[in-house]
Amino acid sequence: MLNTVETQNISIPSDYKSILLGDMDGNLYEQRNIYDVRPLASMTKVMTVLLTLERIKNGEITMDTNVTVSNYASKVPYGITLVAGKQYTVRDLLKATIIRSSNNAAQALGEFNGNGDVSVFIDKMNQKANELGLTTLRYCTPHGLPPEDTQGKCRDQGSAADLYKLAQTVIKYDDYLNISKNSSGYIDNGNIKLTSTNNLLGKVEGVDGLKTGYYRAAGSNIILTAKRGEKRIILIIMGSEKAKNRDLIGQIMIDDFFATHHDVKVIDSTIAIGSVKIKSTKYNLYPEKDVITNDGVSTSVINKDATFIFNLSDNIKTAKTEDIVGTYTAKYNGKEFTGNLILR
């Protein structure tokens, strides 16, 4: 679900076709042409990686499973040097795909996951998109090369809105971010060095992914994710003519978001919000946990100012101190916060 929270009033280069800034909860802070369908270029590889990580999670393969590179995969353009007939681990191919955006590594993963038939894997890519409700995503390759480089296959395409939802899904796999956070890396027992295509790694605080994409008709694209404190955001930029403008937009928007959206404690678990009498003894009701938010709340603790609605459990008459005895809803300035109640 996409919830519009607010729009940032900041000045950024106009060199883009679509922009979306959101968080992991589905709140959108910036949206411009987010439903326009555009070429994905190498952002296509996010789905290739997701399906590979799913197989690892399900125990079908491991990071150390060997993959034999086909003659065709070894010759896919704009990739690293992969030797036909040589075996590389799934880990190495994932690193090459994510860090260096290697097209032949993505092709090798696609063939491997399709049991030797990349078209089978592409069907799985589209099936997964449908399963996730990503209706604008259409996959034709495991890497995102344009038709002129793929013997006239169709063009991988989709919208910023659906890429955002896909990013929310893949970020939940620690293995992805553990790879994408690296500005460089080595594979093939140290024989091949990889340099990341994500220029904001190490430059913008908190950036640890996710995927770039470029060819002439697509423009410069990027899915960025950054985390500061407990807050993670996702930024999609599509269709920039110049990569330096794309990167500048990313830097400005990420820094501005974290400069203007601060974590605020709105419910303090050490301050009572009500009371109840049980067998002539008065007990105070406390929130079980602090509530931290950065969703446009400009005040601090609201325990004494909010309107609270309690839903007490049936077992409250036999409850002991520190037991959960129900739930609360706090209403303040048009916002609602909920949590468990404990007895003290």
Q: Please name each of the domains of the chain with its CATH number.
A: 3-260 (3.40.710.10), 265-343 (2.60.410)
Closest of 101, 79, 138 to residue 220, by C-alpha: 101
Please give the average pLDDT of every successive group of 10 residues along the chain, which has 344 residues: 53 95 92 97 99 99 99 97 98 99 98 98 99 98 95 93 98 98 98 98 98 98 95 98 98 94 83 92 93 64 86 90 93 88 94
- Confidence (pLDDT) at 317: 86
Residue 114, amino acid: G
Question: Which residue in the block uniquely carries the two structure tokens 């890429």?
Answer: 163
- Confidence (pLDDT) at 4: 46
Task: Tally Cβ neighbours within 10 Å of residue 118.
Answer: 22
- Confidence (pLDDT) at 7: 46
- Confidence (pLDDT) at 315: 86
Give dist(CA 112, CA 62) in Å, integer: 13
Give dist(CA 287, CA 3) in Å, integer: 27
Residues 6+ apart with CB under 8 A from 76: 103, 104, 107, 143, 145
Give dist(CA 32, CA 224) in Å, integer: 16
CB 286 within 8 A of CB 325: no
Report the phi/psi class of residue 20: left, alpha or beta, with left for phi > 0 and alpha for psi in -120 to 50.
beta
- Confidence (pLDDT) at 294: 65
